[in-house]
Amino acid sequence: MHDVDERVQVTTTVTGLPLHFQWRERNYRATQHPVRFFTRRPWWTEQDRVHKGIGAQVLETEVWRLTAVGRGRSAERVYELTREAADWRLARILG
């Protein structure tokens, strides 16, 4: 596993399913159906406290795990992309 945390540009379907992403001027294409899940953010490192009633926006991060291949490459790798509003980030490379 390799942590990255860099901004990427993502092309999605109309329902929000990621199809392609661009990272470091290279294009990657999903080769399998991406899996969506939510994880807890380390809010305690970002804020002193969480105000009552704002919950999910502070506590959870949307994550998409997808198998993709880079343009001109044959080896597939597993990537995790996070999304907060319109901001997509490559969080980690798993394999």
Is the pLDDT confidence value at 30 over 90? yes
Is the pLDDT confidence value at 28 over 90? yes
Dist. CA 93–CA 48, nearest whole Å: 30
pLDDT of 47-75, one tens digit each? 555 566 555 555 688 999 999 999 887 79
User: Which residue is it, tokens 């704002």?
Assistant: 54
Give DSSP secondary structure letters for 33-91. --EEEEEE--HHHH-S-PPTT-HHHHHEEEEEEEEEEETT---EEEEEEEEETTEEEEE
Dist. CA 20–CA 9, nearest whole Å: 8
Per the prediction, the chain carries an average pLDDT of 86
At residue 27, the pLDDT reads 96
